[in-house]
Every structure is written in structure tokens, then in C-alpha cells.
Chain A
Amino acid sequence: MNTLVSSVVALGGLGVTVGLGLAYASIKLSVKVDPLIEKVRDVLPGINCGACGFTGCNAYAEAVVTENAKTNLCIPGGARTSVEVALTLGVEPEATRKLSARVLCQGGNAETVRKFEYQGVSSCHVLNQTAGGDNACPFGCLGQGSCAVVCPFDAIHMNENGLPEINISKCTGCGLCAGECPRSVIIVTEAEHAVDIRCRSTDKGGVVKKYCQPGCIGCGRCVKICPFEAIELKDSLARTLYEKCTSCGICVKECPQNTITRGPLFQRSAAPHTVHKQCCSIDN
């Protein structure tokens, strides 16, 4: 009997003491979290892609609440998330632009000369280090599909020709693929741009013709014909100035190499759309 009482008292006492200690600590040491941050975080997609420029959805939610970051920075979330964030905070939603990735290379297995048969780790980065890749074009797609692996939205698939294909309806424009590509073949720009010059090779025309059938030879015909001065020729490569391009598609017909293609969103009668100064253009 005595044993029973003493053990109940001892354990009960211990429990009460520790409980009180914990209760005190939880009040004294509690970290105050703004409930607003949690609410904002709940409306974000939660994939932590980092396209907003912060280190994940939580960091962006904090920035929106505490540093007045813009509501339209979540690129995968698009317009809907911008509105939801704005509603949560009770502010005006900011305008969003739908972005999408595009592959600026048409040099698949069928179109380009292959230097050797590659049997090894299927990663574009590893292949790029292995004798400069099997693609004879030093600027072209390596075809191992690192972009498809990294895409969180299942928007990229490698086709049979060894080139990535982007599903515009799934692509959110987060840019993870563009960051992954060791050859910078993928860029992110506004989804409504529908005409792309799909080549990255800055080699001279004669050299390009030796290794790639649809590569840009830098003839400059597109530059001359473009009514909007939206194409510039630098280092024997035509580059689209997306902020000027109206996706009219005149250059597509003019290109002797068929380097310039229409994207899935191309509409023949499309009116020149609004100019967005901030939109991404080809780097370098």
C-alpha cells in the first residue's frame, strides 16, 4: 500500500512540476508568428520552386506580409494566386504575366551530327563534361533530359528525336529548367510570344551547316524583313528582342533554314500585343 502511494505521489509530483515548467516555457519562449503569414502561405502553391526570388513559399509569404513584396511574384500561381494573396492581405492585386519556357534548339538526333555514341550517366551536366557532349554543335541541346527531370509540373518531355518538348498548358514559367540546362538552350519568356528563333549557335554559317540542318547561319534575312526591328544579329546568330516582337510571323516564312518557328499559341490574325518592358529576353 505504502509503495503504491509513494510511487503515485512521486510520479504525479514529477508530472505536475514538469508540466508547469513546460507551460511556463511555452508562454515565455513562444515565437510569435503572424497568422497572416500562415494564411498567405496556405494560398501559395507550396512547391518551393524559388521562381519568386525568395527561398521558397514560406519566405515569400513572409516577404509579402512584412516587406510589402508584390503579390504577383509567384509565377506558377499566376493571376489566381496574385488575387488570392491580395484578398488575404486586403490589398489591390497586381497584374500578372503568364510566362512559359521554350526550347531554343531544333538539333535533335535526326538533325545534328553526333560525334560519338554516348553510353553513360544520363545527365546533361555529366555529358557536357564528357568530351564536350556527343552533339557536334557546341551550343545545342544535349538530349539527356535534365530539364524534364527537374520540372515540378511534368510539363517537359523528351521526344523520340531527343529534344525536350514543353507542354504550354502545364508550364508555369518557373524557370527551373532554364537554370538546369548546361547549354542555356531553354529560356523563359511571356507565353503569348509565339515566334522563336530556335538556335543558340554563335558559330559562323558554314560551320553550323556542317553539323546542324536547321541551325541559324546568320544570313540576316529575318533582320531585314522584320517590320518591328525585333530581331538583332550578333555573332552570326539572330536573336529575338521579345519586348519588340509582335509574333506577326513574317520572319518564319523568310528563314531559309527553318530556324524560326511558330509556337502553339501562334494566331495568324493576332493583333500586336502590349509591350512589356520587363519581360525576359535572351541573355548575353
Chain B
Amino acid sequence: MKTFPHGLHIPDYKELTSQKPLETMPLPQKVVIPLSQHIGAPASICVEVGQTVLTGQTIGKSGGFVSVDIHSSISGVVREIKPSLHPLGRQVQSVVIESDGQDKWSPDIKPGKNVGKLKSAEICKILQSRGIVGLGGATFPSHVKLTPPPDKKIEYLILNGVECEPFLTADHRLMLEKPDQILAGLDILIQALGVAKAFIGIENNKPDAILLLTEKTQNNVNIEVVPLDLKYPQGAEKQLIKAILDREVPSGGLPLDVGVVVNNVGTAYAVADAVLENRPLIERVVTVTGAGVNNPRNLRVRIGTCFEEVLNFCGGVKDDAAKILMGGPMMGMAQYSMNVPVIKGTSGILALPTDQARFAREATCLRCGSCIDVCPMFINPSLNGLYARFKEFDNSDRANVLDCIECGCCSYVCPAKIPLVHLIRYAKGEVLAKRRKSA
């Protein structure tokens, strides 16, 4: 079975929620919608305090090419526009909407669009105005991925159903329950890119999803479902391309440098919604899980619902819950307040009990090289950690620190418990700041 070199075999804990069907969370009383939920320029606000908004109404216009529109996820009244805590730890300008409880949809959202005639540019326009971003976690605007520079020829599209992050089952459940819509979205993506062949990569810990999608696509020679060996971080796009096509994205490059575009299955689902029904991205599947949650579930949650409300719907957190993360345990962001909103990139909310959230005391590097053996990007994490510690950022840059995908494998295996990813993240920030300064 196909896979990529290096990486880790880690326990996946998916049994907590993998058999739990998708449920729709009741409408929240209040939503806080940050104007920056994607990579790129934040959206510029186009509503006022006191204005009545409908579900799906645009409340923020994209602030540039690498940016998307933001929509109201409930109907109600705009109560406040203020900087508010974002799950990534910053204060971000946000729109607070109080629900009227009726969930009245904006009248321009209706099904029945003829997709066959749409050109690539038209599809991209729809995706940008419907706020579609990559739902794997990086929230990169989808229309940008679909507009490669003219000198780059795209040969293949890869649909990412790997979901390698432990605990998370959002994509898994979506593949099992909404395969037709995912495949409809895949068709639209294929049409927009004009590629001849598409792959759907799924790890073999999801045999039901592999079976189902293989059945659904057996009459279509252009789509191939590729079962992949279980390994972390296979869901990272560069690793997925290596696993499926054996092509290596050059250092500092993008998948389109090797003629590939990778999209998440959740994104394909949202693309189908946006193009076929003109429905904006106002809802996403969130896996609420972890040994610190009373009743782990897979939920469809409106964007802007606060974490506390979502966790309470799942029976609340247990008394010994010590750490709440947005995302999985490997790449997730620890939260210090439960009063943060679900954003487009929230694939899961994870509550870990004390014994799983323990933090070991850091020791001196043993020079064992374990981190180098597992690094899927073939950089030297221990060296980069030292450079970051001593603020030698020119050396960090030379040691390809910017190639790091922050998957966390090095920190996971380090026997000395050195917070390597933390150090490398710091170095990446400093190197980027330095580059911006000199540019």
C-alpha cells in the first residue's frame, strides 16, 4: 500500500466518534463571526450595528484576491462589531449577531444552477463570493488554488480524505454520509481545473469510506480511490502527493509546481453547496471529542458558535479536563478561553484530561536523531531548535526552517521532551518578519 517516507505511527483514538453519525447542533443564540477566518487579507465589513441580517447574507467583502467573503450564519440583528478573541490567540475584528430564532435564509440561496456551462473563472468567482476556503485546517481560499499561474500546467487533482490527525472523524463521517455531494463537488473542481484525472486519498483505517467511494466511482475512469497505509502526517498535502504520485514538491514550492492541486473532502462538499445551491460556507462539521468530553459527537455547527456552547451540547467537559484544543492533538491550538467562536478551520474541539495533557520537564538534547528520522519534510528539527533558541535566524533560514509544516512529529518523539515545534514556529515567524523587512 502507498505511503510517504518518514512520519510516525501514532494511536489514532478515532473509535470515540467514528461510529457516531453527523448531528446538527441547534441554532446558537448568538454568534461571533471573525472577519479573518482564512489565510490572506481579512474581509472588510459591510454591515452596521443594529442592522437585521438573514442567514447566508454577506457581512464582510473579501479584502483582496487572496481573501474570501464572510457571511452571517444565523438570521438576527448585528449587536456589536468589535475585536474579539480568535481561536488562534489574537484579537480579531468580529461581528456579533444575536439570533431571532427563525433562521430566515437570504433569498438568493436557491438550488438548481446549471453547472455544465460554467467556466473556470465563473466557478472561482462563486467560490470567493460564497466564502469557500480549504476546510482541512489551513483555510486557504479555494479559488486561489483553482487559478494557477498560466505557465503551470495542472495534471492531477487530489481529494484529501486522509484525516491523519488523531481523534478527528469529521471528514470520515462526511465521506460516509454525503458521498454524492462530495463527488459532485469533485466534478466541479475537476471542471474548474480542467484536469483529466483525480485521486481520492483515504487512509486504510477508514475501510468503510474506501469501499463506499470506490463503489460510487467505479463507473468513472477519471476518478481513482487510493487506499493509503496508516501514517501521520499523510494528510499534509506535500506528503499526500508523495504518497499517491511519488512526486516531491520542491523546497519553498507549492503543489502546483509539480502539477497537482490538493483539496479536502470537506472543501469539495462546500464547493458543491456553493456552486449548485449558491449556499455560502456558514456551517461545518466539527468533531467534539477527547476523554475529557462526556458525550463525544460529530456535529454540524454554524460558524461563530462559541466553544462553550458546543461542548455543553456534548454533555459538557468532565471535571478532570485539563486542556481544550482547537483541532487535533498534534497540530491543534490550545485554548485558554472557552469563549472563542467556531471558525471555518475548526475541524475539531478536543478536551484532554489531566493525564493526557501532562507536560514533561524539558531535558538536554541527547543527539539521538529521532526527530530527524521522523521529520516528513527532511529538515533537521534539533538543529533548527538550537538556532531558534540562540536567535540565529539566518542559520534557521539556511536550514530550511520555512519548510516545516508544524506536524509535531519531532516534538512527539523527542525523548528529551524539547518543545521543538514551538521553537521552530518562533523561528519561522522571525525569518518571515526578517524577509518582509528586507523585501
Asked if residues B90 and A132 are in contact (CB atoms below 8 Å), the reply is yes
B429: chain A residues at CB < 8 Å are: 129
Asked if residues A125 and B336 are in contact (CB atoms below 8 Å), the reply is no
Q: Is B20 engaged at the interface, CB distance under 8 Å to the other chain?
A: no
Q: Is B419 engaged at the interface, CB distance under 8 Å to the other chain?
A: yes
A224: chain B residues at CB < 8 Å are: none
Q: With both chains docked as a complex, state the minimum distance between the C-beta of B434 and any C-beta of chain A, in angstroms.
A: 13
Given A115-B336, A129-B426, A129-B429: A121 and B389 within 8 A (CB)? yes
Chain A residue, CB-CB nearest to B361:
A119
Asked if residues A129 and B336 are in contact (CB atoms below 8 Å), the reply is no
Asked if residues A130 and B89 are in contact (CB atoms below 8 Å), the reply is yes
Asked if residues A126 and B426 are in contact (CB atoms below 8 Å), the reply is yes
Main secondary structure of the interface of A (DSSP, over half): loop
B90: chain A residues at CB < 8 Å are: 131-132
Given A129-B426, A130-B89, A132-B90: A120 and B419 within 8 A (CB)? yes
Within 8 A of B (CB), among A123-159: 123, 125-126, 129-132
Q: Is B425 engaged at the interface, CB distance under 8 Å to the other chain?
A: yes
Asked if residues A126 and B422 are in contact (CB atoms below 8 Å), the reply is yes
Asked if residues B89 and A121 are in contact (CB atoms below 8 Å), the reply is no
Within 8 A of B (CB), among A71-125: 115-116, 119-121, 123, 125
Alpha-carbon gap, A131 to B425, bound state (A):
13
Alpha-carbon gap, A166 to B429, bound state (A):
30
Most buried by A among B90, B336, B359, B388: B336
Q: Is B423 engaged at the interface, CB distance under 8 Å to the other chain?
A: yes
Asked if residues A126 and B336 are in contact (CB atoms below 8 Å), the reply is no
Question: B302-341, CB under 8 A of A: which get 1 and which 0?
Answer: 0000000000000000000000000000000010110000
Asked if residues B425 and A123 are in contact (CB atoms below 8 Å), the reply is no
Question: A209-246, CB under 8 A of B: which get 1 and which 0?
Answer: 00000000000000000000000000000000000000
Alpha-carbon gap, A129 to B89, bound state (A):
9
Q: With both chains docked as a complex, state the minimum distance between the C-beta of B58 and any C-beta of chain A, in angstroms.
A: 30
Asked if residues B336 and A121 are in contact (CB atoms below 8 Å), the reply is no
Q: With both chains docked as a complex, state the minimum distance between the C-beta of B353 and any C-beta of chain A, in angstroms.
A: 16
Cβ-neighbour of A131 out of B336, B359, B389, B423 (below 8 A): B336
Given A115-B336, A116-B336, A119-B359: A126 and B89 within 8 A (CB)? no
Asked if residues B359 and A121 are in contact (CB atoms below 8 Å), the reply is no
Asked if residues A120 and B422 are in contact (CB atoms below 8 Å), the reply is yes
Alpha-carbon gap, A60 to B93, bound state (A):
49
Alpha-carbon gap, A131 to B419, bound state (A):
16
Alpha-carbon gap, A132 to B85, bound state (A):
11
Most buried by A among B388, B423, B426: B426
Alpha-carbon gap, A130 to B391, bound state (A):
17
Alpha-carbon gap, A27 to B234, bound state (A):
65
A119: chain B residues at CB < 8 Å are: 359
Within 8 A of A (CB), among B387-413: 388-389, 391
A129: chain B residues at CB < 8 Å are: 425-426, 429
Chain A residue, CB-CB nearest to B334:
A116
Chain A residue, CB-CB nearest to B322:
A117
Alpha-carbon gap, A242 to B403, bound state (A):
48
Asked if residues B422 and A131 are in contact (CB atoms below 8 Å), the reply is no
Within 8 A of A (CB), among B85-120: 89-90
Alpha-carbon gap, A240 to B425, bound state (A):
37
A115: chain B residues at CB < 8 Å are: 336-337
Q: With both chains docked as a complex, state the minimum distance between the C-beta of A116 and any C-beta of chain B, in angstroms.
A: 4
Asked if residues A131 and B89 are in contact (CB atoms below 8 Å), the reply is yes
B426: chain A residues at CB < 8 Å are: 121, 123, 125-126, 129
Within 8 A of A (CB), among B349-364: 359
Q: With both chains docked as a complex, state the minimum distance between the C-beta of B330 and any C-beta of chain A, in angstroms.
A: 16
Alpha-carbon gap, A121 to B387, bound state (A):
13
Question: B421-434, CB under 8 A of A: which get 1 and which 0?
Answer: 01101100100000
Asked if residues B89 and A123 are in contact (CB atoms below 8 Å), the reply is no
B423: chain A residues at CB < 8 Å are: 121, 126
Q: With both chains docked as a complex, state the minimum distance between the C-beta of B391 and any C-beta of chain A, in angstroms.
A: 8
Chain A residue, CB-CB nearest to B359:
A119
Question: A196-220, CB under 8 A of B: which get 1 and which 0?
Answer: 0000000000000000000000000
Q: With both chains docked as a complex, state the minimum distance between the C-beta of A238 and any C-beta of chain B, in angstroms.
A: 26
Alpha-carbon gap, A125 to B389, bound state (A):
10
A-B contact pairs, 24 of them (CB 8 A): A115-B336, A115-B337, A116-B334, A116-B336, A119-B359, A120-B422, A121-B419, A121-B422, A121-B423, A121-B426, A123-B389, A123-B426, A125-B391, A125-B426, A126-B422, A126-B423, A126-B426, A129-B426, A129-B429, A130-B89, A130-B422, A131-B89, A131-B336, A132-B90
* Top-6 shortest CB links A-B: A131-B89, A116-B336, A119-B359, A126-B426, A120-B422, A115-B336
Interface residues of B (CB under 8 A from A): 89-90, 334, 336-337, 359, 388-389, 391, 419, 422-423, 425-426, 429
Question: 4 new A-B pairs (CB below 8 Å) besides A119-B359, A126-B422, A129-B426?
Answer: A115-B337, A130-B422, A132-B89, A132-B90
